[in-house]
Chains A and B, each alone.
Chain A
Amino acid sequence: MKSTENVLEIRNLVKDFPGVRAVNDVSFDIKRNTIHCLVGENGAGKSTLIKILTGAYARTSGRILLNGEEYNSHNTRDAKQKGISTLFQELNVVDQLTVEENLTLGMEDTTFGFLRKTDKINKMIGVLNSIEPSIKPNQLVSSLSVAKKQIVEIAKAVAAESDIIIMDEPTAAISESEIGRLFKIIKGLRDNNVTVIYISHRLDEIFELGDYVTVMRDGKHIETKPVSEIQDRSELIKMMIGKTVFEQYTPREEDCPDTILEVKHLSNHRLNDISFDIHEGEIAGFYGLVGAGKTELARAIYGVDEYEGDIMFKGKKLQLAPDKAIAAGIALVPEERRSQGLFTILTIRGNVPVMNMKKISRNGFINDATERNVTLEYVDKLKIATNSIEKEASKLSGGNQQKVVLSKCLFADADLLMLDEPTRGIDVGAKSEIYSLIRRLSKEGKTIIIFSSELPEVMNICDSIYLLYDGSLKSTLRNSCDVDSENILHIVTGGE
């Protein structure tokens, strides 16, 4: 049956949740041995569609044909046996085990409960070796980079002889150089009779990688067509949201003369003698690949990690404690939204005011009305999409969760706002809202530092750009309309 042209046919697929139709009468085909990209804003229905394919959700109605046969799956394991493997954003590897143990995890061969070495293991190691020879089977997974962990998972999927491998934003957490290698692997998969369903918010990747693209919006299927027939990103963006969103960088009219933050000879286990000045009111951007030291720099300034050297804020030396940094007027939007920024089990109201409790309390007692009003104010100001401020933060979409974290930091009333990967993993619409918010804050006189591994982000909004490579500050430049992005990439990848 594997001769059919379409590996997957989706017909009139519907998925209802209480009060919302997440997937609305979706029909399209996925051609065999292609890289099929799936795009759409958060909430467009991509994730729900994928979860139906992997068996995490049961569909409400509609049909799915895999290799021309009716397909129905009850869980990810079942889906894998039927030929659909998935690489989730949250990787399914166990850090404390070796690569080999991870490969066979959940499908170990045993005799009376004892592990047995079999051909299966050798086959998997063979697959892994053919994809990425530098990963050794006896290596601990915790010693691998995120990109290499993904490769371990890909090897697992390939060894399971999957017809389809679904990849949910595989490039969200890996560096540019690793992305290139991943793309090579994905193209290799296609040439070896695997169909890849590729989900990403980075539209450039779709042009580089995709054969076909399906656009979804508000749970509906908008369009499926060959990538070669799409003119440029803005056509894709238009399909996704109906309008073009990206503003280009406009140079600042007047200079910012006053220094607000001075960093002198900052070093620690990940940073190497970094010195720079940030001026009051400017938007500064630190750009570098993953592992270049961006997060470590932000954490040092915020007083989370120890360091040598001096960090002066408004002329005073900063102490080594986040509560002291906040009191001095600094707030940080951390890199990991869910584990470092958000209190997921608490409500929106429970999250927004936490960095400035003084403002909603008197003598240590909380004023409920003030607390509610503050929360309403931020829900309104940042357009957080929710039906209630009593909604649990974990139930919001990624973009709205990030807005809650932003609200929290804005309410801290800081003069210096540090944003570490402020738009990672969120959709185009929310991204552009966050950019305009950053511009607005800067106009209000706030100083902003962005730490990002997305060059367009830094080039779109930052007045000055700092390039980091391997814990060192390599270059500083003023943004202008003709910044040489090739040169920047040259520097942050270690070029002189």
Chain B
Amino acid sequence: METKQVEKPVQLQTSLLGGKLSDESFITLFMVGVLLLVFAIACLVVPNFYKPQNILNLITNNWFVIILGIGVTFVLITGNFDMSVGGNIALTGVLSVYFCQGFNVSQNALANGLGLPYVVAVGLALLCAMGVGAVNAFFIAKLKVPSIIVTLGTMMLARGAAQVITQGAQRNTSLPDAFGFLGSWGIPGTSIRISVLVMIALIIIAFVFEKKTVFARRIYLIGANPEAARLSGINVSKYLTVLYIISALLAGITGILLASEFKAGVSSRAMGYEFDALVIALLGGVSIAGGFGSVLGMFVGAIILSVVTSAATGMLLSPDWQFILKAVVTFIAIVSQRFALERRKG
């Protein structure tokens, strides 16, 4: 690709460069402040909360929702939703089991699979996950059906398919030895497993992608004004299609890793994860109207939620009350963040 350097203007008007923080960085920093505050409170009320091992756990225990959050964040930035990721995790996990379970090895239907090698099973399962994304994209980008409707539909479709394959329960027998490796191997002596490394790698890639690439810039343009984006020569449906397939692929990867970790394909796995992913993105400052937000913000949002959940457990709060605590903190954080942004914009 030939890139021509554009001539610099004769007098560099550096004063016009405006060294001020972008609104996205401002929100991310604001949420880092919120995180520190929540963390400080947690340290005061929960014994040993400040210990390095606990801090590490805050990140490593949430790898799955962070991976989902990446796809969901980019889809949100285009002004759309992806509610199908939770169902897609269950489907992919179940399929990865079914594809590599022994062929005709048992009287029990739930113990029989296709007998494929594990690597092939994973590849096929990921393809199916992307298929769900392609279905989303077809209805949203081509037929212009509102994304919330389409993805709520595919969410149930994917989970329904997982239930049919597991007869409403799970598949966990006659698995090859390799099956448990991805989910259980970790750096010895730490809580860092492959899944966490995958999450870290994906976050770094997503961060660079978001800040540096033309593709990501166009995602923001589509979210900021889809009509102007189209008239500016952006093939909006192409971009939406790619994003929905990427979001589905990330859900698929999560599904494979979770199935491996539990050595089982469970049809009820990841129930409600689509909402967790949405909540952390919003906590991180992503605008529900599109055109605004960042992966780093989403990451900070995930840690905030993790601190609250973990502190609630540490305070021996009954799980019944944890939801309300999470709801209150999330609500206050998002409202204060919007308020701060309004004030800044004046």
Residues of A at the B interface (CB closer than 8 Å) are 18, 302, 304, 321-323, 325-327, 332, 334, 339-347, 350, 354-355, 357-367, 370, 372-374, 376-377, 379-380, 386-392, 408, 412
B300-316 CB mask vs A (1 if < 8 Å, else 0) is: 00000000000000000
Contact residues on B (Cβ < 8 Å of other chain), bracket: 35 or more
- Whether the pair B212, A388 counts as a contact (CB closer than 8 A) is no
Q: What are the residues of chain B within 8 A of A360 when measuring CB–CB?
A: 6
What's the least CB distance linking A318 to chain B, in Å? Answer: 13
- Whether the pair B220, A376 counts as a contact (CB closer than 8 A) is no
Interface residue B8 (Cβ < 8 Å from any Cβ of A): yes
Interface residue B44 (Cβ < 8 Å from any Cβ of A): no
Interface residue B215 (Cβ < 8 Å from any Cβ of A): yes
- Whether the pair A370, B6 counts as a contact (CB closer than 8 A) is yes
In Å, the complex CA distance between A373 and B11 comes to 11
Whose C-beta in chain A lies nearest to the C-beta of B234? A323
Q: What are the residues of chain A within 8 A of B1 when measuring CB–CB?
A: 358, 362-363
Whose C-beta in chain A lies nearest to the C-beta of B1? A363
In Å, the complex CA distance between A340 and B221 comes to 12
Q: What are the residues of chain B within 8 A of A408 when measuring CB–CB?
A: 232
- Whether the pair A346, B231 counts as a contact (CB closer than 8 A) is no
What's the least CB distance linking B225 to chain A, in Å? Answer: 5
Instruction: Say whether, besides A358-B1, A366-B214, A377-B9, A302 and B231 are in contact (CB < 8 Å).
Output: yes
Q: What are the residues of chain B within 8 A of A354 when measuring CB–CB?
A: 217-218, 221, 229, 232, 234
In Å, the complex CA distance between A357 and B1 comes to 12
- Whether the pair B16, A355 counts as a contact (CB closer than 8 A) is no
Instruction: Say whether, besides A323-B234, A377-B9, A387-B18, A340 and B217 are in contact (CB < 8 Å).
Output: no
**14 A-B residue pairs with CB within 8 Å:** A334-B228, A340-B231, A343-B224, A345-B291, A355-B232, A358-B3, A364-B213, A365-B214, A366-B212, A366-B213, A376-B9, A377-B8, A387-B16, A390-B18
- Whether the pair B217, A342 counts as a contact (CB closer than 8 A) is no
A-contacting residues, B215-240, CB 8 Å: 215, 217-218, 220-221, 224-225, 227-235
Interface residue B108 (Cβ < 8 Å from any Cβ of A): no
- Whether the pair B16, A339 counts as a contact (CB closer than 8 A) is no
In Å, the complex CA distance between A339 and B8 comes to 31
Among A341, A364, A390, the residue within 8 A (CB) of B214 is: A364
- Whether the pair B225, A344 counts as a contact (CB closer than 8 A) is yes
- Whether the pair B22, A390 counts as a contact (CB closer than 8 A) is yes
Q: What are the residues of chain A within 8 A of B22 when measuring CB–CB?
A: 347, 390
- Whether the pair B228, A340 counts as a contact (CB closer than 8 A) is yes
What's the least CB distance linking A114 to chain B, in Å? Answer: 31
Q: Which 9 A-B pairs have the closest CB atoms?
A: A388-B18, A390-B18, A326-B233, A323-B233, A343-B224, A357-B214, A362-B3, A377-B9, A361-B214
- Whether the pair A342, B228 counts as a contact (CB closer than 8 A) is yes
Interface centre among B16, B225, B231, B235 (most CB of A within 10 A): B231
What's the least CB distance linking B331 to chain A, in Å? Answer: 24
- Whether the pair B9, A344 counts as a contact (CB closer than 8 A) is no
Among A327, A343, A362, the residue within 8 A (CB) of B225 is: A343
- Whether the pair A342, B231 counts as a contact (CB closer than 8 A) is no
Interface residue B13 (Cβ < 8 Å from any Cβ of A): yes
In Å, the complex CA distance between A357 and B217 comes to 9
Whose C-beta in chain A lies nearest to the C-beta of B23? A392
Q: What are the residues of chain B within 8 A of A361 when measuring CB–CB?
A: 3, 214
Q: What are the residues of chain B within 8 A of A339 when measuring CB–CB?
A: 225, 227-228
- Whether the pair A366, B217 counts as a contact (CB closer than 8 A) is yes
Whose C-beta in chain A lies nearest to the C-beta of B346? A18
Interface residue B205 (Cβ < 8 Å from any Cβ of A): no
Among A321, A359, A376, A388, the residue within 8 A (CB) of B4 is: A359
Interface centre among A302, A354, A376 (most CB of B within 10 A): A354
What's the least CB distance linking A352 to chain B, in Å? Answer: 11
- Whether the pair A374, B6 counts as a contact (CB closer than 8 A) is yes
- Whether the pair A376, B16 counts as a contact (CB closer than 8 A) is yes
In Å, the complex CA distance between A149 and B13 comes to 46
Given contacts A340-B231, A343-B221, A355-B232, 14 further A-B contacts (CB under 8 A): A18-B346, A304-B230, A321-B235, A325-B233, A332-B231, A343-B229, A345-B224, A345-B292, A354-B218, A355-B233, A365-B213, A366-B217, A372-B17, A376-B12
What's the least CB distance linking B342 to chain A, in Å? Answer: 13
What's the least CB distance linking B68 to chain A, in Å? Answer: 25
In Å, the complex CA distance between A365 and B13 comes to 25
Whose C-beta in chain B lies nearest to the C-beta of A370? B6
Instruction: Say whether, besides A322-B231, A358-B1, A346 and B224 are in contact (CB < 8 Å).
Output: yes
Among B9, B13, B220, B233, the residue within 8 A (CB) of A350 is: B220
What's the least CB distance linking B292 to chain A, in Å? Answer: 7
Q: What are the residues of chain B within 8 A of A373 when measuring CB–CB?
A: 6-9
What's the least CB distance linking A337 to chain B, in Å? Answer: 10
Among B12, B16, B214, B221, the residue within 8 A (CB) of A388 is: B16
- Whether the pair B212, A365 counts as a contact (CB closer than 8 A) is yes
What's the least CB distance linking A411 to chain B, in Å? Answer: 9
Among A344, A359, A379, A387, the residue within 8 A (CB) of B3 is: A359
Instruction: Say whether, besides A359-B3, A370-B6, A388-B16, A346 and B220 are in contact (CB < 8 Å).
Output: yes
In Å, the complex CA distance between A239 and B139 comes to 57
Interface centre among B1, B20, B228 (most CB of A within 10 A): B228
In Å, the complex CA distance between A374 and B12 comes to 11
Q: What are the residues of chain A within 8 A of B225 when measuring CB–CB?
A: 339-340, 342-345
Interface residue B5 (Cβ < 8 Å from any Cβ of A): yes
Whose C-beta in chain B lies nearest to the C-beta of A363? B1
Q: What are the residues of chain A within 8 A of B292 when measuring CB–CB?
A: 345
Q: What are the residues of chain B within 8 A of A327 when measuring CB–CB?
A: 233
A-contacting residues, B8-39, CB 8 Å: 8-9, 12-13, 15-18, 20, 22
In Å, the complex CA distance between A339 and B9 comes to 30
Q: What are the residues of chain A within 8 A of B3 when measuring CB–CB?
A: 358-359, 361-362, 367
Instruction: Say whether, besides A346-B220, A377-B6, A391 and B228 are in contact (CB < 8 Å).
Output: no
Q: What are the residues of chain B within 8 A of A364 when measuring CB–CB?
A: 213-215
Q: What are the residues of chain B within 8 A of A389 when measuring CB–CB?
A: 16-18
In Å, the complex CA distance between A56 and B346 comes to 15
In Å, the complex CA distance between A390 and B4 comes to 24
In Å, the complex CA distance between A61 and B292 comes to 37
Q: What are the residues of chain B within 8 A of A376 when measuring CB–CB?
A: 9, 12-13, 16-17
Whose C-beta in chain B lies nearest to the C-beta of A341? B228
Interface centre among B20, B224, B230 (most CB of A within 10 A): B224
Q: What are the residues of chain A within 8 A of B235 when measuring CB–CB?
A: 321, 323
Q: What are the residues of chain A within 8 A of B234 when measuring CB–CB?
A: 323, 354
Q: What are the residues of chain B within 8 A of A325 when measuring CB–CB?
A: 233
B230-264 CB mask vs A (1 if < 8 Å, else 0) is: 11111100000000000000000000000000000
- Whether the pair A344, B224 counts as a contact (CB closer than 8 A) is yes
What's the least CB distance linking A313 to chain B, in Å? Answer: 15
